Structure 1
């Protein structure tokens, strides 16, 4: 079992889409189903820079740093004590060759290698990446704002923050395709702030075979910075084999 991992979330940008539930349902392995907010499913991209990554108990000075991305879908399933919620992660990318080597082996989540381009100031942020095989391209530009505005999913920042806080367990397909491996984010300093997107491009969400025209709409962007966090492996979830 992998030990708990300490880190600092130096930056975590959540780019969130509202999506037709029937479209999302077709992307999920059983027993997962879309977690709905009103009439919508929720999906998106997490663009995260992790620093001081190391086993719990070791000093942060020996930790490593990496840029990473995860395409995510908010999901729920029936657990032993009732309905549980989290996120399904169909794709992970990383700028770290170490993460690519160890992902799906030492810790959950098979990663693809990608080239990242980041420009950041106090109020403006540009994060872009291209997968090494050029099949996935993402580019996001945002600037911070004082209030969440224009979201059809969430009436205010507090509601949005709580929704994503509760989705702390992420499940990714294992290398054998017969289970989902889980990784849980824990922090005592959860805090998000709203951001306004000035430009977003994602070949994942623009793929009309996956998301027919009009089925996925950018809803809101949220930003976390400088949050200490630990990561814990959870029990895997058995699924039918993924082709």
Structure 2
């Protein structure tokens, strides 16, 4: 059980790098009863690289928050609910530049996190972000703007809405033995087309050859985000009232 029910932060930059993944390979990455969410016959997975400022409990003023860089390797998932099928993401692993999320993740709030080293080279419309940690590395070079290209989503608006709908993020519990949820919302949700100049992810590169292919990228900037701890019982497939 997490001690903090809500978190707030200002998103300085969020890069959503999306891959098309073989459904069977994606299924091997997520625990039951979660299952990969398919779009046009492919599972959807990716890397979220997010820079946050003013991270704090929901009741605390922004000036008392802290800054952090985070990266998450994720798979879009769905599960059955009494009202039908719900969607979200399963976060295979998280890394953070800050010691506070590493110490508090899975204890004070959902989501076990490991420490990573981040190197940033950013301008207004170009983002070069690299993260290295024991056993994993990821590096992206993404620009803003340009034509939209994707085999999963017909437009940047469709891609943005897909990610907005997948607001519940599931993470392994500390010590194993289940998953716990954190739900992300923003009243000012907005995404732009990202142009991928280069991307390297040891996580996706280690999957069977040809099972993961880069699809598209979104860029989100200067938005307030809010995280809440939903009470969802996966063993019964519905929200706890």
| Larger displacement relative to structure 2 (13-22 or 50-59) | 50-59
Deviation at 1:3, TM superposition (A): 3.3
In 1, Cα distance between equivalents of 2:182 and 2:147: 31
Corresponding residue number in structure 2 for 1:3: 5
The 5-angstrom pairing of residues 99-178 of structure 1 reads: 99-131=101-133, 133=134, 135-149=135-149, 151-178=150-177
Gap runs ≥5 in structure 1: none
Do the aligned partners of 2:146 and 2:195 also contact (CA within 8 Å) in 1? no
Corresponding residue number in structure 2 for 1:18: 20
Q: TM-score, normalised by structure 1?
A: 0.93
Do the aligned partners of 2:5 and 2:109 also contact (CA within 8 Å) in 1? no
Gap change, CA 1:237 and 1:27, over 3 Å in 2? farther
In 2, Cα distance between equivalents of 1:22 and 1:237: 25
Q: Cα deviations across residues 78-125 of structure 1 (Å, max 9, x unaligned)?
A: 012110000000100001111111111101111110000011111111
Do the aligned partners of 1:147 and 1:157 also contact (CA within 8 Å) in 2? no
Do the aligned partners of 2:50 and 2:70 also contact (CA within 8 Å) in 1? yes
Deviation at 1:236, TM superposition (A): 5.3
Corresponding residue number in structure 1 for 2:190: 191
In 1, Cα distance between equivalents of 2:234 and 2:41: 28
Cα root mean square deviation, aligned: 1.2
Do the aligned partners of 1:92 and 1:112 also contact (CA within 8 Å) in 2? yes
SS in structure 2 opposite 1:23? helix
SS in structure 1 opposite 2:231? strand
In 1, Cα distance between equivalents of 2:233 and 2:175: 13
Corresponding residue number in structure 2 for 1:231: 227
Gap runs ≥5 in structure 2: 236-241
In 1, Cα distance between equivalents of 2:215 and 2:233: 30
